[in-house]
Structure formats: C-alpha cells, structure tokens
C-alpha cells in the first residue's frame, strides 16, 4: 500500500460529525480494528487499511480525519465515547445559529487556522494525498456556511487534490429549521466550483428506508446514520479493499462527470435487511442489481422515470462471478425506468472486490454476504433543485428572515446569484437529457 493513496476525511457540523461517528464505527469493524484503534485481526492482503487509517508508532490505528464544529457540545460527546487523535478535533466556542452567513463571514481567523493545522498534520503524515472527502449538511450554519468557506480555502491551497462531498440536502417534507432553503441554496452555489463530485443524501429518503426496515420502531438519528454509513461505506469500499476491478477516487470523476457543472450524484444500495422484516427468498446477484436501481432504496427523493441516467458506477462486494454481473446488467437494461442518455449509451462502471459487507456491533440493520452500491449521475436530480428553489422563492419574495443574513455581511445579490445558478443547473440537466446523436453525426 502506497502512502500516496491516503484520503483525508473532514466532517463539518453536528450532522457531519454524527454521521462520521457511525461511519467510522463501520470502517473499524470492516478493517478489524477495536474502539481504541488496536488490531483485532491481522490485515489481509486485499485490505487497503492505510487509505483511511494512520498507524502510529505504538501500532494503533487512528482515523485520518477532522471533526470541525463551531460549538463544542457534539465533539465533546463524541470524544467521550470514542478515542480520536486530539489533532482530529477542531472545536470553536460559539455556533453559527443555523445561519449560513454567520458561518461563512463571521468565523474568527484563529478557528480557521486551527483547521489548517489539522489538515497540515495529516498532509505531513503522508507522502501524498489522492483526495479529500467531506461529510456535512448544507442546511445549517457550520455545515453550510463555514464548510463552504473552508472547502473553498482548501481548493485554493490544494487545487489538484480530488474533493468528494457527501452532502445532506433539505428534504421535501422533513425540515429541522425554517431557513434551510437559504442555507442550502447559498452553499450549493459556493461549492459548485470547489467540489469535484457531490453525493446527495436527504433525510426523507433515509427515514423511508428505516420505516420499511423497522415498521414498529421509532426512527432515531442512530438508525438514520446507520443507513447513511451503509451508503457511504459502499461508495468508499473500492478505495478500502483491493479487487479484480478496482476503482480509485479520481475514477469517480472521470467516469461520472461529463461536464464540470453536472457533478451531483445519487447513491443506491441493495440489499436492505432487518430482523423485523422477513428476508425475501431470492437474493441473487440479479435481484440485488435490480434493487439497486429502485429509487425507494436511493439516498435522495427523486423518480428515475422523470429523467435519464448519464452514467453509473456499480461497486459489488462478496464472492461474485463476473458472468453473473453481466447477466444482471443485461436484465437491468431492459427495464423501462433505466434509460441512459443517447450520447452515453454504455453507462456502467463496475468495481468488484471479495470482502463481504459488515456492520458494527449494536447496529440493527442486517446484511447478506453480497451487496451492490451504485453511484449515478441522473438528470432527474434537477427536480431536487427545483424543490429547493421553490421553497427559497416563497420566502425571498416576502424578504422573510433576510435581516439575519444581512446583519452578518451577506447581500441580497448573493442570494440572487445562487438562485440563478440553480436555474442554470436545471437547464444543464435538461439539455443533457434531450440531446441526441443524429444519424449524420454517427456516420
């Protein structure tokens, strides 16, 4: 394993850090590490443990990550139940109060410099970095505002380092704060030129998956974060385990982003099991592959029938013969709701590795010996941005709540610019869907 393959993970705000806590429990379980970073089993040849973990001189493995929050309560709790390198924790003294402008414009310089020190620490611990991964909600002040500012800063310092974001978007029916549309719209605009690939997650989709798995239980954040960690763990598995058809972080961008603006992705995963719901008898590769394309198991609320696939990456885990995947994909191509744009008919990038999926102790989600995770660029995502724009327009027309943003140095022109970006994004997806190759051009 070359140190040049290292990935730095950065989690911003309450949502990003809580997702990170669940995600790194999953990583530790899959790589045979205990809570204190001690090996529970020897590293296998196919494991690329050092991509996300750093081994100290005492033989302990620490996550190569930063937890960043403008207020201390969440990180203090995480530190009380987990063992992280103190360099990985960047704690402020006053939160951003769900205000994008407060996180973006009013963060003290000393806090930003602490974040720089954390990034510098992990850079110095590696001969090279292949990429950075970010997990944060766009709906709040820290995850939306400060994260947008700091990722832009990282782009200035490290323009050639691949940047991959797992971003929590506001949900159509579920909202934790009134001003989510202002925060999300501003963050999407600011991150448009600094993130190379952005995987979208929303709480409504995650809750619906949990309701199917646990119909009689109250869905808590721990349930939701367990589902999100399965999404992210499936996407990152090709980076953490060697396989017959492997994928590195740069290949996601190469295969899934046809135009720089259209870098937003949906994640699909299958199978989903729980002890509360009887497992289906048929869990063949064909069934798993087909279920991955069913939008009720996606990370975001959108209907594939309203658009077309531009490209997709399918990452399989477990002992899976190649011919079974070819047969499964042939069946997928015949589905009416799986349609690729005319100018990108191939559509599939495949990754295979034999390491089966696992779950951390205490997680009620159950798994099989095989799984498939899809990362797809789909034109139906334009409806996600239409929903955000519609909610924004309703409040912006009344100038509601804007004085809180103006008081932190944000001008109305910034909102108007962000709104225009969503219009352009909607148009770009529509153009990508409707463009066809003429017979003359094929000749």
Give catalytic residue positions: 251
Tokens in use for 398? 């009344």
Which residues pair with residue 277 across a beta bridge? 274
Which residues pair with residue 313 across a beta bridge? 349, 375
Go through 247-284 and write b for each residue having 16 or more CB atoms within 10 A of its CB, e for each that does not.
bbbebbbebbbeeebbbbbbbbbbbbbbeeeeeeeebe
Which residues pair with residue 378 across a beta bridge? 309
| d(C-alpha 103, C-alpha 99), whole Å | 7
- Cα angle 100, 71, 13 (rounded to 5 degrees) comes to 55
Q: How far apart, in Å, do the first and last CA atoms of the chain sit?
A: 46
Contact 26, 233 (CB under 8 A): yes
Helix pair 203-213, 221-240: axis angle to 10 deg: 100
Tokens in use for 442? 């094929």
| d(C-alpha 182, C-alpha 263), whole Å | 21
Length of the chain: 443
3-state helix, strand, coil in the chain (%, to 5): 45, 20, 35
Please give the DSSP secondary-structure letter assigned to residue 87. G
| d(C-alpha 391, C-alpha 394), whole Å | 5
Which residues pair with residue 374 across a beta bridge? 268, 314
Residues 6 or more apart in contact with residue 334 via CB below 8 angstroms: none
Three-state SS for 188?
A: helix
Contact 332, 338 (CB under 8 A): yes
| d(C-alpha 236, C-alpha 314), whole Å | 12
């Amino acid at each position: 394993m070359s140190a040049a393959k290292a990935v730095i993970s950065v989690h911003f705000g309450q949502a990003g850090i809580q997702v990170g806590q669940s995600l790194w429990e999953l990583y530790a379980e899959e790589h045979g590490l205990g809570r204190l970073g001690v090996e529970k089993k020897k590293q296998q040849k196919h494991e690329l443990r050092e991509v996300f973990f750093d081994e100290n001189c005492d033989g302990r493995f620490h996550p190569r990550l930063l937890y960043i929050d403008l207020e201390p309560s969440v990180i203090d709790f995480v530190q009380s139940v987990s063992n992280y390198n103190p360099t990985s924790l960047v704690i402020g003294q006053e939160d951003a109060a769900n205000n994008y402008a407060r996180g973006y414009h009013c963060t003290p310089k000393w806090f930003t410099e602490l974040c720089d020190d954390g990034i510098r620490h992990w850079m110095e611990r590696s001969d090279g970095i292949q990429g950075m991964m970010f997990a944060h909600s766009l709906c709040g002040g820290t995850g939306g505002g400060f994260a947008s500012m700091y990722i832009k800063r990282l782009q200035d310092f490290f323009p050639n380092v691949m940047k991959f974001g797992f971003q929590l978007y506001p949900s159509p029916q579920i909202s934790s704060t009134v001003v989510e549309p202002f925060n999300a719209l501003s963050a999407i605009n600011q991150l448009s030129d600094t993130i190379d690939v952005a995987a979208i997650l929303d709480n409504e989709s995650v809750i619906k998956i949990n309701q199917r798995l646990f119909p009689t239980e109250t869905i808590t954040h721990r349930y939701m974060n367990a589902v999100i960690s399965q999404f992210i763990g499936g996407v990152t598995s090709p980076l953490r385990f060697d396989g017959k058809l492997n994928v590195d972080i740069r290949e996601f961008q190469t295969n899934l982003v046809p135009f720089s603006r259209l870098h937003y992705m949906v994640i699909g995963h299958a199978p989903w099991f729980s002890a509360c719901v009887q497992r289906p008898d048929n869990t063949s590769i064909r069934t798993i592959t087909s279920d991955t394309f069913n939008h009720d198991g996606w990370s975001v609320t959108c209907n594939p029938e309203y658009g077309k696939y531009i490209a997709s990456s399918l990452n399989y885990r477990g002992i899976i013969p190649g011919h079974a995947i070819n047969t499964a994909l042939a069946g997928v191509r015949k589905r009416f709701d799986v349609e690729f744009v005319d100018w990108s008919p191939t559509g599939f990038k495949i990754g295979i590795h034999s390491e089966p999926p696992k779950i951390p102790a205490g997680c009620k989600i159950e798994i099989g010996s095989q799984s498939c995770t899809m990362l797809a660029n789909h034109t139906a995502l334009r409806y996600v941005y239409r929903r955000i724009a519609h909610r924004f327009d309703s409040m912006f027309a009344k100038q509601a709540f804007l004085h809180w943003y103006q008081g932190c140095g944000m001008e109305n022109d910034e909102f108007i610019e962000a709104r225009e970006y969503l219009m352009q994004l909607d148009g770009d997806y529509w153009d990508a869907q409707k463009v066809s190759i003429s017979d003359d051009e094929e000749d």
